[in-house]
Amino acid sequence: MPVKKVERSAPGKIILCGEHSVVYGHPAIAVPISDMRSYARVVPGPAGQGLRICALDLNQECALMETTDTHPLGRLARLVLRELDLPEPDAVLTVASELPIASGMGSGASISVAAARALSAALGAELPPEAISRITYEVEKIHHGTPSGIDNTVIAWEQPVYFVKDTSPRGPLDDRPEMFEIHAPLKLLIANSGIASSTKEAVDEVRRRWTATPAYYDIVFNCIGAIARAARAAVEQGALHALGTLINENHELLVKMGVSLPQLDQLIAAARAAGALGAKLTGSGQGGNIIALVEDETKDAVQKAVIKAGAVSVWQTTVGLQDA
């Protein structure tokens, strides 16, 4: 089977509002971070070698046939080949990412999307976003157990999405997701606490709390769902001050859910005190990143403040620039 030399990439993501409650069927909004990406390259290999997989950041290399279904890239490659109904090619798939691992920026889903794009394109049949999203969702289950599907969706479609977990019997993720417009570009500062976090552990912890006190946590989840709906409207209208307030309120509810940490709260307090319109943790919490909604006049002061408060790295990004 001919293999083309191909390179593809995929963005990172952040959840603006609605993490965790999205697992329980409430809406969340997420945006791709197009200037922080993962990359995948496929090159032809010698006849009979099969597919070799190389993860540069992890310093790992192996043959597809050595992997089991708990190996993310092994599982991904098998799913792509099954989707295309093609045999294993003689090729090398190499992946690398600019995204911090285990920090709520979707590094795992981003690598999967880049790899699925590259592998399918190298085999002459680049898969559409719905197939890439569905395959990435299957791989996400290895990391997360019960993912809502938001990470694979926003990254595979590379658009702002208003996401509600699909529980239809037809199976999730077969349709185009609901997208929304960004009226005024969102200037965001993403600050890494340097504390690695496990999405699975955070999701399990929230589930334990919900199981023990369902009435209380259902109210918390409902409130966050309402915040996500209002935040979507604020983004669509360019109402940045309202969005900042909603982001702050979302964070207070995440604190009640038990997924923040003193270190994250410190970064968030510092960002707000330095003039951010709003700040919250993003992703599963218990470490990872915070986001701050900033303006041109405040962004450098906010950056300095979060570094002073302990951030190990900070990125400035603008989402929705094409609509400016």
Nearer to ligand PMV by Cβ, of 91 and 228: the residue is 228
Which residue in the set 283, 292, 311, 314 belongs to the binding site for ligand PMV (CB under 6 A)?
283
Which residue in the set 20, 37, 187, 272 belongs to the binding site for ligand PMV (CB under 6 A)?
20
58 — phi, psi (to 5°)? -95, 0
Task: Determine the 3-state secondary structure of 183 from DSSP.
Answer: coil
Which residue in the set 3, 6, 17, 22 belongs to the binding site for ligand PMV (CB under 6 A)?
22
Task: Give me the least distance between CB of 163 and ligand PMV, in Å please.
Answer: 8
Q: Residues near 132 by Cβ (< 8 Å), separated by ≥ 6?
A: 113, 116, 117, 120, 152, 156
Over the window 69 to 108, marking each residue x when it contacts ligand PMV by CB under 6 A and - when it does not, the resulting string is: -----------------------------------x-x--
Task: Give me the least distance between CB of 295 and ligand PMV, in Å please.
Answer: 25
Residues of span 112-171 touching ligand PMV by CB under 6 A: 144, 147-148, 150-151
Q: How far is the first Cα of the chain from the last one, in angstroms, to the nearest whole number?
A: 45
Task: Determine the 3-state secondary structure of 6 from DSSP.
Answer: strand
Which residue in the set 19, 33, 191, 268 belongs to the binding site for ligand PMV (CB under 6 A)?
19
Task: Give me the least distance between CB of 284 and ligand PMV, in Å please.
Answer: 4
Task: Give me the least distance between CB of 62 and ligand PMV, in Å please.
Answer: 24
**Candidates 17-25, 31-39, 79-87, 186-194; binding stretch for ligand PMV (CB under 6 A):** 17-25
Nearer to ligand PMV by Cβ, of 86 and 195: the residue is 195
Which residue in the set 38, 199, 248, 317 belongs to the binding site for ligand PMV (CB under 6 A)?
199
**Size of the residue set binding ligand PMV (CB under 6 A):** 16
Task: Give me the least distance between CB of 84 and ligand PMV, in Å please.
Answer: 27
Task: Determine the 3-state secondary structure of 316 from DSSP.
Answer: strand
Which residue in the set 3, 6, 23, 81 belongs to the binding site for ligand PMV (CB under 6 A)?
23
Nearer to ligand PMV by Cβ, of 28 and 127: the residue is 28
Residue 284's closest CA among 198, 225, 207? 198
As given in the structure block, the two tokens for residue 286 are: 């218990």
Task: Determine the 3-state secondary structure of 148 from DSSP.
Answer: coil
Reported as type and span, the H/E element at residue 199 is helix 199-212
Residue 133's closest CA among 171, 162, 174, 97? 174
Residues of span 201-260 touching ligand PMV by CB under 6 A: 203
Residue 15's closest CA among 228, 316, 273? 228
Residues 26-49 as b or e (16 or more Cβ within 10 Å = b):
bbbbbbbbbebbbbbbbbbbeeee
- Structural contact between residues 243 and 234, judged by C-beta atoms closer than 8 angstroms: yes
Task: Give me the least distance between CB of 173 and ligand PMV, in Å please.
Answer: 13
Q: How far is C-alpha 225 from the chain's CA centre?
A: 18
Interface residue list for ligand PMV (CB under 6 A): 15, 19-20, 22-23, 104, 106, 144, 147-148, 150-151, 199, 203, 283-284
